[in-house]
Structure 1
């Protein structure tokens, strides 16, 4: 039909994207001025706009396009919008509209990069999408800035020390080094730490570049997208670092009797726990697929399967918009939410907790201290005896010895 119908409204693709220059009203015969600033009717490349390709809910869009600068104040923005409206800047060939702006909140020292996108698949109806990214570009504000910088410097001094230790171990053990899971944990922490430092430096350089561009061109739009993307990557790296550091702390505190008992409890109940995890994953997928099929074409929270999974997880945490589901379909919405809460929260999760509690009670009855725990107890007893302090372990042992002495020294009656 594209060859038969001259005025065919084809879907968006990089191959058919228009990159020409026009006059007002998309008049191709009108004289176009290529001088700065560019006209809203002239295509601007991805490199000039400093905008990467953007994923929408329909397709991947190129970073370039026809751009209209709304200006620094409301009056200028209203006049520009009226000019675009009068000359039909948005027509039947428009496939996506991006609105980008950046705001700064000085009270909490945060920049917020806002992206609003409306896209269509050549059928006339636009889908709405918004994205907010918060970035802290001024790192030296606040009274704790010196403490934070000192903590970061001390942290990387520890990382250098651990690099030296792990290097010696790697030289001694060679390929056997990679067979120990705790060595791999240390190696992952070191790699993630230096990766986070490099991304932090890049984020700082990009932020300084964007702020310098803003100060030199206050009447133009300053894009902070690259800085926000680097900050997002830094956040993910720090999150994984915190996760690995927590695992390492758990391993370092394994000599604590209570933590050792918790670890032994999880090991005892791991067979049942793994079975319940599989059941929970299946039920989550079932409710996610059902909600995506029933509400995905209408409600934004269920538009994709991944969004539906995130929404179902939020339901278990109590972060859920009940009104949008009940307003859309009261019967199906109430049934879906009610059964999910009953089966997932009240049945499966409670049974999951019950399995752990049963294993914990069994572990309390048959728990045996590890060799490392006994060594630590012996060291504490020796230290306390040198200092003249009686610890609880010594008092219990003396109480047992007194009971044994009393039972042995008892004399039998004589006829």
Structure 2
């Protein structure tokens, strides 16, 4: 007797005259949908695209990490310590950080500033003569050209004076605004020191603590020698270069460290607000403007070429997708992400080319005249913004990986979870931010004039987030207002922690919201009634799963026969409806839901038949022993 090697009796069970549906195929004696070919092809194509994209992402990461290194941090640190922490003398502890008036500014400019810019002697007081007309800050950083000092002023009578005080006040200078900027000559009225100089059209405005400042102003440069710089600063101080209308002073200079091939562009800013006093701030940009020096730089150049080829390919792909899908293309969030990545990459390529050309031109002008101020601030400013843009680009590039692994159920748990709880998150966010911004406005109006953390509305928002995280200064709030301070703090903590963060449970307790069990089991009681009352199959299945989990014993058997009856009724209705839909569907078209159901049935059937086949094989192997057994002979 011959036995089939495959599943037993399956070939015989199928009549020869019976024709299989056009949308199926036979694999190992089992009828499977041909749509599985499309699924397999889709997965294979997706994996190929994922592999190519990982190569692109690796290339992008190499480029971005090649732009940043730890030397940038250390260069910024030593420069900030030199120009911000150094005091005038042992007796006069005035430093840049402690500047509080115009007198302090002149002390810093004629003392620590010049000490930091001009390194003429070695640590043993020997004169450095190896580099004529040049200064090496910390002996390692070459001062490029000379430093520039610039100020912006506002006009007199730019603010309104109350009539009762007009007899006492003849001058009035408001806070800085571009429309109130004073561009008229003053003082000795000769040279750029006393005459206004316009900024180039590409010069970035400076965003300070008290305002947004333009790129023009009254400027002068320091000489190459320390002694001449001291005389020039003293001359300007005696002739009143800083006036009541002065609102900000900028000190700009740049150094280059050949050991690590980095430029450090420094801007020291002192703002003189309309309230009086002075507010110092600083910016240190360590950037790599000379791109191709070492062998590693040329390796990065090859990575840049590969990056450009990838972007060119992506552009063509997106254009073809737009032509094919037209308006449907813009309905997908992944397509918008692709456009964002391509746009940022194109801007990065264009800026990289512009930066390379501009640095070459600046270097040529610097080498031709070392007595002028080389404006590297413009390039350093945009290089920093470029680095920030690339960082965002890399972030979204990593997020795009979810697009390629979405076929895996495990990988889509996060998106599925967020989509399921989106309504709850939005509802909670609306309630939370209504309370949050109400308290932010209250804190700004009550404590804004006395507490630094509440001095602006933006600071109030960040301060309240810090309170939520447990970082707060209750003493300053209480000192600002002994009555409203504690009330504000206690009620804010109460509403945020004890109401908003537990609002779901509170609503259930107050019978304002149904619990999860009540939502799955509506009034009426049975799971069977859920179908008749219009509940979806997915919601019914969730209820069935929940009832199964809550109604089984330690062995996994249902405790209640009624639950088993509900289960059988639901499965009969659900499967009969599915079979009816499958019968009515065209033979050559299968929906994704139908394919998943068929594929699940076929997989389960193949698994069971393989088990039967394995058992029959073991039985057949033992049949010859039965023929030769003593019992058989006796019979």
| TM-score bracket relative to the smaller structure | 0.5 to 0.7
Structure 2 CA distance for aligned equivalents of residues 113 and 63 of structure 1: 16
**Aligned match of 2:195:** 42
TM normalised by structure 1 equals 0.66
User: Which residue of the other structure, out of 161, 174, 182, is the alignment partner of 1:18?
Assistant: 182
Structure 2, gaps ≥5 residues long: 1-155, 505-515, 517-541, 547-590, 620-635
Q: Which moved more, 1:107-116 or 1:77-86?
A: 107-116
Shift in Å, 1:59? 4.2
Alpha-carbon separation, structure 2, partners of 1:340 and 1:109: 52
2:206 corresponds to 1:54: yes
In structure 1, the partner of 2:269 is: 117
Deviations 1:294-323 (A, max 9, x none): 6655676655333554566678789x8x7x
Secondary structure, counterpart of 1:113 in structure 2: strand
Post-superposition Cα deviations, 1:150-209, rounded to whole Å, max 9, x if no partner, equal 333222222222222232232233333333333333233222221221122233333334
- Report the 3-state secondary structure (helix = DSSP H, G, I; strand = E; otherwise coil) of the residue aligned with 2:400: helix
TM-score normalised to structure 2 length: 0.46
Specify which of 279, 288, 297 is matched with residue 136 of structure 1: 288
* Equivalent residue number for residue 250 of structure 2: 98
Partner residue, 2:398: 246
User: How far apart, CA to CA, are the structure 2 residues paired with 1:174 and 1:152?
Assistant: 32
Distance across 1 between alignment mates of 2:284 and 2:489: 28
1:273 to 425, 441, 444: 425
> Closer, same or farther in 2 for the Cα pair 1:221/1:300, shift >3 Å?
farther
Bigger relative contact order (CA 8 A; separation at least 6): 2
Change (3 A) 1:128 1:294: farther
C-alpha RMSD over aligned residues: 4.8
Alpha-carbon separation, structure 2, partners of 1:346 and 1:138? 56
Contact map agreement 2:344 2:393 (CA 8 A) in 1: yes
Can you give the 5+ residue segments of structure 1 that lack an aligned partner in the other structure? 353-357, 379-392, 410-415
CA distance in 2, matches of 1:104, 1:301: 38
1:296–1:302 CA contact under 8 A, matched in 2:
yes
Distance 1:340 1:278 in 2: 16
Cα distance in 1 for partners of 2:465, 2:196 equals 43
Length, aligned pairs only: 361
Contact 2:188–2:194 under 8 Å retained in 1? no
Task: Pick from 221, 224, 228 the counterpart of residue 373 of structure 2.
Answer: 221
Distance 1:188 1:221, change over 3 A: same
Q: 1:306 aligns with which of 437, 447, 458?
A: 458
Distance of 2:263 and 2:285 partners within structure 1 = 8
Query: Is contact 1:9-1:92 (8 Å) kept?
Result: no
Match of 1:9 in 2: 172
